[in-house]
Amino acid sequence: MAQQPTRKARKNSAKLERLEARISREQKRIIERAAGLRGTSVTEFVVASAQQAATTTIKDYEMLRLHGEAREAFVNALLNPPAPNAAAKRAVNRYQQRSSR
């Protein structure tokens, strides 16, 4: 049982940053109610919710950026197609032989 306080001390010591926000009384009531429904403290609820929102925002941004990069690569491939390699040339020959029958 002596390990539990040590674990808790280590867990708390890792949290070095502080985040503060001014909110309205109604916002606080809603957050307190939601935290209670989840069975967590207001702090745990706010941190978990903010982290989830931040992760989603980052993922959405990166997907949009990657879609833009993919679109750019696709258009570039259409406008500047690479020369066919040996495998592509063989495939064309096979197609022409089969379709001429």
Read off the pTM: 0.55
pLDDT for position 69: 83
Domain range list for the chain = 22-94
11 contacts 4 by C-beta, under 8 angstroms: no
Whether residue 6 is predicted with pLDDT greater than 70 in this model: the reply is no
Task: Name the nearest CA neighbour of 45 among 56, 54, 53, 36.
Answer: 36
Distance from C-alpha of 34 to C-alpha of 48, rounded to nearest angstrom: 12
Provide mean pLDDT across the span 23-27: 97
Whether residue 3 is predicted with pLDDT greater than 70 in this model: the reply is no
Provide mean pLDDT across the span 35-51: 97
**Mean of pLDDT over the chain:** 87
Confidence tier at 12 by pLDDT (50, 70, 90):
low
Q: Which CATH number is 22-94's, of 3.40.1000, 1.10.15, 1.20.5, 1.10.150?
A: 1.20.5
Q: Exposed/middle/buried for 8, CB within 10 Å: 0-12, 13-18, 19+?
A: exposed
